[in-house]
Amino acid sequence: MSGLEHELYHYVVVGKLSWMWMAFFTVQAPALVAERWLVRRLHRRVRLWRPVQSMAVLLFLGVTSEAWFWPVFDQPEVQAALLRGRAV
């Protein structure tokens, strides 16, 4: 739902869909399911230190956001809308 909301916002501001935000949020759901599955599956055998878990999450979010979330702001149409104050 969040991906659709972001794409709608992009459409209102720029007048077209980018689908990059939709991709970003769509990847989050299977990643969350996989994380829960791994935690349940490996819980008794492997106990990861909490900071290692946090770093893994931040690494995943960093890679996916660099690929699909932040590049939307590099689009000239989005930058122009931001400068005009239309995107606020």
| Residue indicated by tokens 């759901």 | 29
Q: Give Rg (Cα) of the chain.
A: 17
CB atoms within 10 A of CB 84: 10
On the question of pLDDT at 39 being above 90, the answer is no
The parent domain of residue 47 ranges over 2-84
- Residue pair 22/69 in contact (Cβ under 8 Å)? The answer is no
Residue 86: predicted pLDDT: 63
Residue 50 pLDDT level (bands cut at 50, 70, 90):
confident
For the chain, what is the domain count? 1
> What letter does residue 46 receive in the DSSP assignment?
-
On the question of pLDDT at 37 being above 60, the answer is yes
What predicted TM-score, i.e. pTM, was given to this entire model? 0.74
On the question of pLDDT at 88 being above 60, the answer is no
